[in-house]
Every structure is written in structure tokens, then in C-alpha cells.
Amino acid sequence: MTADALPHTTPRRRLTPGRACLLLGLLSAGLALAHLHAGPGLTAGLASLVNISSASTEALVLHFAWWPRLAMALMAGGGLALAGVLMQQVLRNPLAAPTTLGVASGANLALMAASLLAPGLLVLGREWVALAGGGLAMGLVFALAWRRGLSPMVVVLGGLVVNLYFGALAMVLLLFHQEALKGMLIWGAGSLSQNGWQDAAFLAPRLALGMLGAAWLLRPLAVLELDEAGARSLGVSLKWLRLGGLGLAVFLTGCVVSVVGVIGFIGLAAPNIVRLAGARRLGTRLLWSTLLGALLLATTDQLLQRYSGILPTLIPTGATTAALGAPLLLWLIPRLRLHGSAPPRPSGTPTARHAAPRRLAAGLALALIAVVVIGALAGQGAAGWQWASPLDGELLQWRLPRLAAAAGCGLMLAIAGTLIQRLTANPMASPEILGISGGSAIALMGAIFLIPAPSNPMLVGAGVLGALAALAVLVMVNRKSGFQPERLLLTGVAITALFEAIKAILLAGGDPRGQQVIAWLSGSTYYVDTASALTVTGAALVLALLAAPLARWLDILPLGAATAASLGIDLRRARLSLLLLVALLTAAATLVVGPLSFVGLLAPHMARLMGFTRARAHLAGAALTGATLMVLADWLGRQLLFPQEIPAGLVASLLGGAYFMWGLRRL
């Protein structure tokens, strides 16, 4: 057969980094030209970049608002993408990014605190304040993961915990200074609006300095692709190299956040897209990721400007990138090559089983009763600390419903965390970390804004549907990978980012219902009445009783699918039943205390560390621990800043996050 007789096949064109940037560049240029053509015209619009002699209104708007905004989008997107590449290279972790490691939230918190407590620091340089906050967050993540050799799993978990922790602190500041920080709701969600060239002139030299630093570190950082022994044999100081690379990434992030606020997902999406498109060498990834990040943000912002007129409210660009980037990341997750493809280890660290778990559970029950008594009778009043009489019906009528609701929600979140940890054999799983609480919260916020005067049953139903939707996404994205912990975490990051984006959009719009959403997100029990408390407590007890017969499944499922099937367990029915129960527990608890508490992550670990190892005992220990933690959080929130209150959900986040960071090295 001759060569001419061979069947002719057309080679399939593969998406390369250059083609991806070219497509985005053409789209961005087309949108820009269309905007100029719809305004003063193409020629006059281009001339307005450097010449405003005509002094027409359209020319002034273009010169002082539209062109600076385009330049800011390009610089901010490029800077965040460059920071993401540096973090991923130093940590050898595709999950690393300014948002996932808490750097952006740390910078945002520092700027909020400085605006309130020390505005003089902002005069010295906003980027230095943001740099201090981002550096603190990164240093905290490093401190948590250093003893584990900066293991990717521990780094990501530390970043998630720091992110949630700093987010809780920012929410506390926002609750008590809503008027002073009202403008920061839009800025914190990532606003690219400009009224001159001063911000662009501020950011440009700093980004240029960061790019020069990245170029100078290019060859040393390339050594990190080797193993540690190979890198040391070349005489490279890994400690200083890592600190230098991460310090540069934090500096870039701090500069961008100080000008435009938190822009989500660019630093995570751009480097991974470039890697998937075929860029393997560090220099190539730095170049294409920076360009792609710039074009991603510029294109998103121009699309937002083009269609903002038909939207009912102001949509911040940073929230939009997170909302668009979350589905993109969910599409990317199954295609990422993550280190450590081994199946997940059994949940938890090896701990000694308590000799008498029932006696220990009885002790926890007594501790819960003691905390409830203290919460009901002890507190501050006009005359200082007081111990109320048990016969003071008016006072107890106000305090007891709150304590009962807090205990019920803590119990439900703890059981949900225990179920999801044992089901996935992943000690880092929880409703908060995996995005289940975020999915429930998205549905609840949608019901609040879309349904006139929704009833409690309607809100519970919406929350359950949202939690089930989040669980369905988790299952679909991670089914083929065998629920690998890294991919589960990244899926949770995507769902949580979508929740944060929707929250930012709703709060930045200025709708009066936004204040109700802020109070609910913070996890306050202030508005709980007797009927609501009885409903929550009853739901908690019923769902806890439903979980008890599932203990056999929870003991066997972590052993693997083959073992479970050989013991006669219908895996599909068992998993769906457990996931449905997790959704019900999460939605019912989120409705009262919001999605911010750490109870679902913390209580199962505390119970396991106390010696509850078998599933039935683990469920009981976690439930009692979670209830005690939430009751204690509610009481402390009423006392710490009396007469003002810190919501129970935020106190639980602060207490639980601090404990979890302290004990992270034991996980």
C-alpha cells in the first residue's frame, strides 16, 4: 500500500498557552473596541487615552475612569497570577494561591483594622499594611505546616483554616463598625472602579519590581522541581529560597489587595490553566500565567461593564471572578495532577481507645449541663457580674431558648462532620471545609432575596436543597478519583468561593436585607424565640437518633469499598443515605448559626483525641462536644464585650480555629 493510499487524518489542534491568551486577547480587544465605538467613536476614544483637549464629558470619563480601570485590571490580574505561580512552585502544590492560603484575607483584615484603629499607618503606604497582614497569614500557615515538611495537604488545610479564621475576625469588625466600613464591603469584594491614574501609577512600579524579583529567582526556583536531596546537592539553601519566593508572592498580593481589594481565583485559575495547556518549565509558566491572568481579569471586567446596565445592583469585579472561576475550577479539578495519588488514609490519627467510653460520654454530658447552667444563670448586668436566680422566669425566658438552639446546632454540625469524615476517610472533611455549609447558605440567601417573606419551613427546604446540590457536586467531581483528599479540598474551596462571591454581591448592592444577611452569616442566636428553639432542639434529637443505627456502616466504610461490599453493605444506598443525613443536619444548623462555625471540623477531632474511636461512641462524643462548644461560644459572646455581643457562630470560629491550628500538627 502506498503512502497516498493511507487514510488521511487531520491532527487535532490542542489548546496551548499562546492560543488561550490569543483567544482571550481578541475577546478583550473586541469588547474594548465595541465600548469605544459605542461612545465617542474609535478614533476619539483612542485619543482620549493621552489627549483630553476636547474636554468633552465622554472623553473625560474615558481618560479618568475607563482607561485607568482597564490598566488596573491588566496589572492586578497579572500580579495575582504571578503570585500564584510563585506559591505553587515553592510549595510544589497546585492548590496554592493567594486566596486559598489566606494571604488575601490576611491583607484585607490588616487594612480593615488599620482603617479603624490606626489610619495613620495607611499614609505610610497601604501596600505595607497589606503586606504585613498577608505575611502574618502566610507565616501562620508556615508555622502550622513546618513540622510536617510543608506537606501539601497540611499547607492547604492550614490555609483554609487561616482563611476562615481571618474571615471571622473581619466579620467581627464589620458587625461593630458597619457604618465606618460600609465602603469596604464593595472594595473588599474586589472593585476596579477608578477616578484617575493615581492607583495605576502606584501599582505599576511595584509590580515591575515584583516581576524583576521573579526573573532574578527564576533559576533558583527551578531547582525546587527536584527533590530536596537533589536541590541540596546543588548547594541551594531551600529555607531561604522558599522564604524569598513566598515573600515575593506575598508582596505582590499585598500590593494588589491594597489597591483593588480581594480578587478571587485569578491566582489559582491562571497557573493551572497554563499548566494544563502544556506549559511545564517555570519560566514559561511565569510568562504565560501573568499574561493569561491579566487577560482573564480584563475580559471579565469588560463583560461586567458591558452588561452592568441590565443588572439590578452593583456587581464587584472580584466577586464576579470568583463566581465565574468556581465552575472553571470544578471543571479543572478532575484534570489536575496532584501529588500523592494513594488512597486516603483512615480518618484521624492513631489514638488510644478510651477504656470506658460510656463513662467518658457521661462526663461530657455533665460538662454540657454545667455549661448550660452557667450560661443561663451567670452573666453581666448593669451592676456587673451577677448570678441570677433559677426562679427568674423573665431572664430565663430570654436566655434558655438561645442556649437550647446553640446546643442543638452544635450537636447537628458535629454529627454531620463525623459522618462526612468517616464516609470519605478524610480527617479534613467537614460541612464547612467541603462547601456543604456554603451550598446551604447560597440557597438560603437566594430564598431570602427572591421569596417575599419566606417561612421557616421554606428556608429549611431551601437549605437542604442547597446542601444536597453541594454534595452532588462533590460526588460528581471526585467519584473517579476515589475521593482523593486534595481534590475534595479543592472542590470545597470552589464551592466556598462561589458562596463568598454571592455574599459579596448581595452585600455590596446596598439592599436593606443585607444587614439581616450579615447578622445571620455571623451565627447569632439573638433572634431565637422559644418556638424556634424547640424546633431546632427537636430536629437535632430526631436526626441524632436517625444517625445512631448507621454506626455499623461508619465502622466499615473507611475500610474500603471492596471490604464493605464483601460484608453485605449496599454501597450506593449507604452513601446516599449518609449524604442525605449530612445535608439535613447541615441545613438545619446553618439556618440558625450560619455557615462560619468550625464545629463540624473541630468536634469530631476532639472526640477522637479523647478516645472515642468506634463509630457509635465517636458520634456520641462529637455530638456532646459540639453542643458544649456552641453553648460556651454563645455565653462568651454575650460576656466578652458586654453590653455588645459577638455572635455565637463567630466565637465558635475563633475558639475552634485557634484550637484546631494548635492541634494541626497532631492530625
Higher pLDDT, 416 or 188: 416
Q: Which residue has the cell 474615558?
A: 62
At 542, the pLDDT band (50, 70, 90 cuts) reads: very high
The candidate with the shortest Cα–Cα distance to 447, out of 598, 659, 590, 297, is 590
For the ranges 113-127, 137-151, 202-216, 477-491, the lowest mean pLDDT is seen at 477-491
Cell of 319: 466577586
**Confidence (pLDDT) at 229:** 59
What pLDDT does residue 77 have?
A: 92
Model pLDDT, residue 589: 85
How far, CA to CA in Å, does 237 sit from each of 10, 88, 229? 49, 18, 11
Tens digit of pLDDT for each residue in 382-408? 677 778 777 677 667 888 888 999 999
Using CA atoms, how far residue 650 sits from 106, 175, 188, 373, 525, in Å, is: 17, 11, 19, 22, 11
Contact 396, 376 (CB under 8 A): yes
Residue 279 scores a pLDDT above 70 = yes
pLDDT bucket at 195, cuts 50 / 70 / 90: confident
Query: Which of the residue ranges 8-12, 303-307, 450-454 would you say has the lowest mean pLDDT?
Result: 8-12
Q: How many CB atoms lie within 10 A of CB 531?
A: 10
Say what the pLDDT of residue 511 is.
66
Cell of 41: 467613536
State how far the Cα of 347 lies from the Cα of 555, in Å rounded to an integer. Answer: 11
Q: How confident is the model at residue 122 (pLDDT cuts 50, 70, 90)?
A: confident
Q: What is the mean pLDDT of residues 580-588?
A: 84
- pLDDT at res. 3: 42
Q: Is the pLDDT of residue 582 over 60?
A: yes
Would you call 508 helix, strand, or coil by DSSP?
helix
Residue 417 burial class via C-beta count within 10 angstroms: exposed 0-12, middle 13-18, buried 19 and up: buried
What gap in Å lies between CA 60 and CA 125, rounded to an integer? 28
In angstroms, the CA 371 to CA 666 distance is 27
pLDDT at res. 348: 42
| Mean pLDDT score across all residues of the chain | 79
Asked if residue 641 has pLDDT above 70, the reply is yes
Q: Is the model's pLDDT at 363 over the cut of 80? A: yes
Contact 603, 594 (CB under 8 A): no
Question: Region 611-628: what's the mean pLDDT?
Answer: 90
Domains along the chain with CATH numbers = 80-227+236-335 (1.10.3470.10), 361-378+393-666 (1.10.3470.10)
How far is residue 533's CA from residue 116's CA, in Å, rounded to a whole number? 36
Collect all residues with Cβ–Cβ distance below 8 Å to 178 and sequence separation of at least 6.
Answer: 515, 518
Q: Measured between alpha carbons, how far is 343 from 646 in angstroms, rounded to an integer?
A: 41
pLDDT tens digits along 41-93: 778 778 778 776 655 777 888 888 889 999 999 999 999 999 999 988 887 77
